[in-house]
Structure 1
Amino acid sequence: MIADEIREQIDAIGIERGRPLLISDADEVLFAFMAGLESYLQGEGLSFDFSSFAITGNVKDADGMALDREAVRSHLGVFFERHTEALDPVEHAAETLAELSKEAQIIVLSNIPLAQRGARARALARHGMDYPLIANEGAKGPAVRLLHDRAAAPAVFIDDIPHNHASVRDHAEDVHRLHFVADTRLARLIPQAEHCHARADTWLEARPIIERHLFGG
């Protein structure tokens, strides 16, 4: 089941049937989310302990005590509200997407609050990645399924979160799933997602994998 607000965003895109499709996450794929979050936390007198691939449990106060889930959620809300538009791009993301877009249609599928969709779109445009954006909520499989059905063409899905790969496997099994974690500190904390097809943590590594599955090269 796909939420009405997500379906409406997809309806507005105008997907080209038969053209290869690249569906990309934003945070830790196109934008350096973790670096931005860490800077925000430091400004709040907090720190991030890279002990595991999770946010809850790793945000610490000045005494080294972990913030509880609700406090972390509150800080994430403030961070997205204030800093979504200011995140730095991941190296080589814009150049690689520009080359791929000559033959493929590119859609950014980001789990970001709908209220910050405009800020994310402006950030994408400012950094040369002005592609259709869907502000998703929850697991990404249903949205990927609808996008793939409408494109009716080879598709690649890129995301840093393992459960999103599992969701896409469950809902859109034919979509090639590429696990990508741009921040090297986070990348070291998590192995290749169980339900993806491949892992690449830089766009230089990712490009040939994407081209092979979209274009048969």
Structure 2
Amino acid sequence: MSDDPETARQIAELANDDRPLLVLDVDEVVLEFISPFVAFIDTLGLELRTDSFRLRGNIFERATQTAVASERVSTLIADFFEVQADWQTAPQGAAEAIARLAESAEIVMLTAMPHRYRATRRALLDRLGFPYPLLTTEQPKGPAIRQLRGAVPRPVAFVDDIARNLLSARESVADAHLFHLMAHEELRALMPPLPEGVVETRNWPDAAPKIASALGL
């Protein structure tokens, strides 16, 4: 069961499904995050410098050229989630590719964000053409993916842009097929090498056939 009781409750509400399971992260996978977040902080007189693969330490006050403290970065992300529907869009080809996969697989979206933003994100995803179940979690994703799989030994694939989330999935579901996808190309170029066994993909047209093959669709 998920380490997050609220996530476990959300999973328990889903209908039983024995099809191959595809679990999708949301930010940078189903929705663009970095580009709209950069546009959002620009309105506040801030800028992101892509000197390394991180947000904290790379956001600067434009007027003073001083780095923003980590605590304020957390506040900025929370503020962005409040208004995400005004800023976030889907990567090119995502809705169409996922819809084709949904013809033969169970699709579940698993986003690491405070539960209080779930309704806002749900409405945005529906508007952009992603009607699949949405789960929020404030804990590691692996246990939630294990609970989603259930007792049926069905194929599982998981797509995320953060290595630690992919490793969490591997720890909980050892035979899961793991895929890295990150919409923001500039930041992706700075990312450390992926863990062994994680399949790198560049966009949804590249990712979709690889996922379909892994799930036997």
Work out whether residues 166 and 196 of structure 1, in 8 Å CA contact, stay in contact via their aligned partners in 2.
no
Cα distance in 1 for residues equivalent to 2:60 and 2:197: 31
1:146 — aligned with what?
A: 147
Distance 2:53 2:152 in 1: 33
Give unmatched runs, 5+ long, in structure 2. none
The secondary structure found in structure 2 opposite 1:109 is strand
Q: What corresponds to 2:36 in structure 1?
A: 36
Distance change (3 Å), C-alpha of 1:196 and 1:138: farther
Whole-angstrom CA distance in 1 between matches of 2:187 and 2:100: 27
Q: Check conservation: 1:181, 1:201, Cα contact below 8 A.
A: yes
**8 Å contact 1:6–1:143 — kept in the other structure?**
yes
User: Does residue 1:56 correspond to 2:56, yes or no?
Assistant: yes
Q: Which amino acid aligns with 1:42?
A: D
Say what the alpha-carbon RMSD is for the aligned residues: 1.4
> Quick check: 135-144 or 190-199, which moved more?
190-199
Counterparts of 1:85 and 1:20, CA distance in 2: 34
TM-score, structure 2 as length reference: 0.94
5+ residue gaps, structure 1 = none
Contact 1:15–1:150 (8 Å) recurs in 2: no
Q: What TM-score results when the alignment is normalised by the length of structure 1?
A: 0.94
Q: Distance in 2 between matches of 1:208 and 1:143?
A: 25
Q: Residues 148-197 of structure 1: CA distance to partner in whole angstroms, max 9, x if unpaired?
A: 23553111000000101111111111110001111111111114421542
Over 3 Å counting, the alpha-carbon distance change for 1:7 and 1:64 in structure 2 is same
Match of 1:81 in 2: 82
Aligned ranges 1:19-34 → 2 under 5 Å: 19-34=19-34
Amino acid in structure 1 at the alignment position of 2:75: S
Q: 1:24, 1:107 within 8 Å by CA — same for their partners in 2?
A: yes
Whether the 8 Å contact between 1:180 and 1:200 is mirrored in structure 2 is yes
Counterpart position of 1:184: 185
Percent identical: 32
- Residue-pair matches, total: 215
Contact 2:3–2:139 (CA under 8 A) maintained in structure 1 = no
2: CA distance, partners of 1:93 / 1:43: 28
User: What secondary structure is seen at the aligned counterpart in 2 of 1:178?
Assistant: strand
Native 8 Å contact 1:158 1:178 kept in 2: yes
Aligned pair 1:113/2:114, yes or no?
A: yes
